[in-house]
Structure 1
Amino acid sequence: MNAPLFKGVITALITPLRDGNVDEDAFARLLERQIAAGVHGVVPMGTTGESATLHLDEHQRVVELAVKVAAGRIRVIAGAGSSATDKAIDLVRYAKTVGADGALVVTPYYNRPSQAGLQAHFEAIAEAVQLPVLLYNVPGRTGVDLANETVAALAAQPNIVGIKDATGDLGRIGWMRANITEGFALISGDDASWLGYQAAGGHGVISVTSNVAPEGMVALYDAVEAGDLETARLWQDRLIGLHRALFLDSSPSPAKYALAKLGLCAEEVRLPLVPTRADVRPLLDRALAEAGVA
């Protein structure tokens, strides 16, 4: 049996900011908290890390810092997507240079390539840099959907080792399990539907919620892995309000609000994002209480 390279609870890390700059001390504290909670990996510089608005030198520094702080204790999968293939290659190459375990590469956004273009994009990256790549399909943000058949074709590439599926479509995993070689990591990118995805044969989640409630997410994963769906459902019931509340405003503003309440970082985000709306804050407070996060 071929085990996937990446699995478990993998946190899509926020990037703490203070006075317009990356707060490296807060970042290190947040990452240490994740490791102590038992998560299996982290993604610095994904969507939740505000990769779209950080400068290249900031992006590279955050990836480098994540690798340094993790120090081999958990997997570090660097966000490395771009709408330009050559830029994505540069980001993946940098991730390899500083010692990341893999790269999370989103489908090109805005230019909306065809399926042939998407396949060529990912193949060019996989051929250019010898680093494990997770595909990232999030059509709600990018405007393009990576078709199941394209994923299957890309899975033949040795460096393409799995997918983060943020479509929320639970029908996809069954098709992929039936049509893609065992060992290809099937990772949910949707916290609210993750339990269903995991029960259908998924290998883990790249999670926003685990920024705030890492212990609960790890407990849910452990319950599913142990075949204890009753306990897993109890954890899902406890966390579902938080899953939803963290997306009641533009992410990662709600996650930063929650982490600021916990005293772990500032709420600051970079324009065009703004801090969480006043009407969302009480809903987040209630969701935090229901999840038992203190």
Structure 2
Amino acid sequence: MTPDLYVPLVTPFTAAGGIAHDALEALAEEVLADGARGLVALGTTGEPGSLDDEERDRVVEVVGRVCRRAGARFVVGVGDGRRGLGRWKTAPDAALATVPAFTRPGEAGVVAHFTALAARSGVPLLVYHVPARTGQQLTARALRELAAIPGVTGVKYAVGGIDAETVDLLGDRPAGFDVLAGDDVFAPALLALGATGAVTASAHLDTAAWAELAATGDRALGHRLAARAAALFREPNPTVIKAALHAQGRIPTPDVRLPLLPAGPRALAGVRLGT
């Protein structure tokens, strides 16, 4: 089966500071037309922490509507799941929930947390494992425990590299459990090792190429996309991606909300030059 490509959408802003709903809808339609099989609303790239409840609801509504029209997979980020789980008007195909941050509850605590979340979730859960943000490492053994929880169907795997635990997990992936590459720079390598898909913010700009990589596994293409991703992540995500989308005329401003600051001109120049 061909790996699935998901694009975690940015939240475009107007010059007045509100959400540019028309631009969000157009962007969602564009990346699906170019080969993405699904979209993530309110992932880290969408700056959910800077949005109020009404804005988050509206983003979910817009992205969900586009996905339903296109027959695409629709995923919503819910933070650690303690708020926002189940409050949407358009139910997604899955909810993306992070490992609890800052508290570092240990692997047993993480398993207990997702067991409780799955019991009250009306949709399947994807675990978002990103230890650079949460401070919590998980072994392949712990991820297999998570995979055994009814209602937990996959993991967005963003550990900042490829190590023995990565090889262990992908070498004996639980049946029916998706492992989605979540670090853009390492996503081509994880796909080569057997990841079932990728969630890549840089695919805003290279959607068709990422879809081709998922379908073919072309090594040279993977190298090019990894280099492009490195350029897009030279400053905090999604600042450079938004600057590039604005330069292309696809969103009305490159603006982000505090605590993020807009990308500098050197970062954008690096993307334009492909360096």
TM-score (norm 1): 0.87
| Contiguous gaps of at least 5 residues in structure 2 | none
Q: Find 1:92's aligned residue among 80, 85, 88.
A: 85
- State the distance in 2 between where 1:274 and 1:177 align: 36
Across the two proteins, how many residue pairs are aligned to each other? 271
What's the counterpart of residue 189 of structure 2?
196
Q: Which moved more, 1:48-57 or 1:259-268?
A: 48-57
What SS is found at the alignment partner of 1:77? strand
- State the distance in 1 between where 2:169 and 2:223 align: 28
1:164–1:187 Cα contact (<8 Å) kept: yes
What's the counterpart of residue 126 of structure 1?
118
- State the distance in 1 between where 2:30 and 2:76 align: 19
What SS is found at the alignment partner of 1:17? coil
1:286 paired with 2:258, answer: no
- State the distance in 1 between where 2:82 and 2:195 align: 31
1:14 paired with 2:10, answer: yes
What's the counterpart of residue 229 of structure 2?
243
Q: Find 2:140's aligned residue among 106, 130, 148.
A: 148
Q: Find 1:105's aligned residue among 97, 112, 131.
A: 97
- State the distance in 2 between where 1:151 and 1:65 align: 32
What's the counterpart of residue 202 of structure 2?
209
1:74 paired with 2:72, answer: yes
Opposite residue 199 of structure 1, the aligned amino acid is A
- State the distance in 2 between where 1:32 and 1:170 align: 36
2:128–2:157 Cα contact (<8 Å) kept: yes
Question: What is the CA distance between 1:206 and its match in structure 2?
Answer: 0.4
Opposite residue 141 of structure 2, the aligned amino acid is E
Question: What is the CA distance between 1:271 and its match in structure 2?
Answer: 0.7
- State the distance in 1 between where 2:138 and 2:53 align: 26
- State the distance in 1 between where 2:249 and 2:82 align: 39
Where in structure 2 are the equivalents of 1:211-290 lying within 5 Å?
Answer: 211-224=204-217, 232-265=218-251, 266-287=253-274
Opposite residue 174 of structure 2, the aligned amino acid is T
1:81–1:106 Cα contact (<8 Å) kept: yes
Opposite residue 286 of structure 1, the aligned amino acid is L
- State the distance in 1 between where 2:238 and 2:130 align: 16
TM-score (norm 2): 0.92
- State the distance in 1 between where 2:57 and 2:163 align: 34
What SS is found at the alignment partner of 2:119? helix
| CA spacing shift, 1:56–1:215, aligned 2, 3 Å | same
- State the distance in 2 between where 1:101 and 1:148 align: 25
What's the counterpart of residue 40 of structure 2?
43
- Cα deviation, 1:201-255, whole Å, max 9, x if unaligned, reads 111100011111111111111112xxxxxxx122123323311011110110000
- State the distance in 2 between where 1:78 and 1:238 align: 29
What SS is found at the alignment partner of 2:87? helix
What's the counterpart of residue 63 of structure 1?
60
